[in-house]
Amino acid sequence: MKKDIILAGVGGQGILTIATILGHAAISRGWQLKQAEVHGMSQRGGDVQSHLRLSDKEIHSDLITMGDADMILSVEPMEALRYLPYLSKEGWIITNSNPFVNIPNYPDVEDVYAEIRKIKNHKLFDADAIAKEIKANRSMNVVVLGAAIKHLGFSKEEIEDTIKAIFTPRGEAIVEQNITALNTGYELG
């Protein structure tokens, strides 16, 4: 089994937290992982992506081969489209619909949605609004993750355990917020 996931967003939106949770869950299964991150100049409000590769066998390349990704998991709708060359024919796009507008020429958001809807396997929802509704404003990324996990072959319990393991040092309240965010996202998946 292998899962190749492109995580996409804008610098500072928390895609590395998603990578940490999924990576931790994979390791708990005894899987291997490679995770290519972006550091440096691009982090300053530019587009960022992470190649996350999980497998029960040896992984060679740190980069995902174009046309091979099982999923584009994005916290920003236009950023989800930027990595389409990587998506496999049966691959999923799971993305937040709330645009992050920090450039003057951001396209009409309805056009962005139309392009996402052209992809056979997609989930498009306002993860920011959902996070706000459940009073977990800072867990937008975990809502998006929640919607993805069944399509990645993980059980909800596995990810819950991981969230507990990772966030417990930061306090019960943070753990609870993230579990709620995960469950709410899961229902959308």
Partner 1 sequence: MEKLMLLGDEAFAQGALDAGVSGFYGYPGTPSTEIIEFIQRSKQANADKIHHTWSSNEKTAYEAALGMSYAGKRAVVTMKHVGLNVAADPFMNSAMTGANGGLLVVVADDPSMHSSQNEQDSRFFGKFAMIPILEPSNQQECYDMAFFGFELSEKFGIPVMLRLTTRLSHSRSGVIPRERLPQNEISIPENPVQYVLLPGIARQKYKGLIAAQEGYEKEAENSPFNRYDLEAKDTSKGIIASGLAYNYLREVYGEEPIPYPVIKISQYPLPMAQIHKLYDMCDSLLILEEGMPVIEEMLKGASFKGSKPIHGRLDGTIARDGELNPNKVAKALGLEDKYGMDVPDIVAPRPPALCVGCPHIDSFKTLNEALKDYENARVFGDIGCYTLGFLPPYQSINSCVDMGASITMAKGASDSGIHPSIAVIGDSTFTHSGMTGLMDCIYEKTNIVIIILDNSTTGMTGGQEYTAKGRLEEICIGLGVEKEHIRTFFPHIRNHEEMIQIYKEEIEYEGVSVIIPRRECIQTLKRRTKKGK
Interacting residues with partner 1 (CB under 8 A): 10-11, 23, 27, 32-47, 51, 57, 59-69, 78-79, 81-82, 84-89, 91, 102-103, 105-108, 111-112, 115, 119
- In the bound state with partner 1, the residue whose beta carbon lies nearer, of 93 and 127, is 93
Tell the smallest beta-carbon distance from residue 22 to partner 1 (Å).
12
Tell the smallest beta-carbon distance from residue 47 to partner 1 (Å).
4
With left for phi above 0 and alpha for psi between -120 and 50, is residue 176 left, alpha or beta?
Answer: alpha
Q: Is the Cβ–Cβ distance between 80 and 72 less than 8 Å?
A: yes
Tell the smallest beta-carbon distance from residue 99 to partner 1 (Å).
11
Q: Is the Cβ–Cβ distance between 152 and 1 less than 8 Å?
A: no
CA distance 94 to 186: 12
Tell the smallest beta-carbon distance from residue 149 to partner 1 (Å).
20
CA distance 184 to 171: 21
- In the bound state with partner 1, the residue whose beta carbon lies nearer, of 23 and 185, is 23
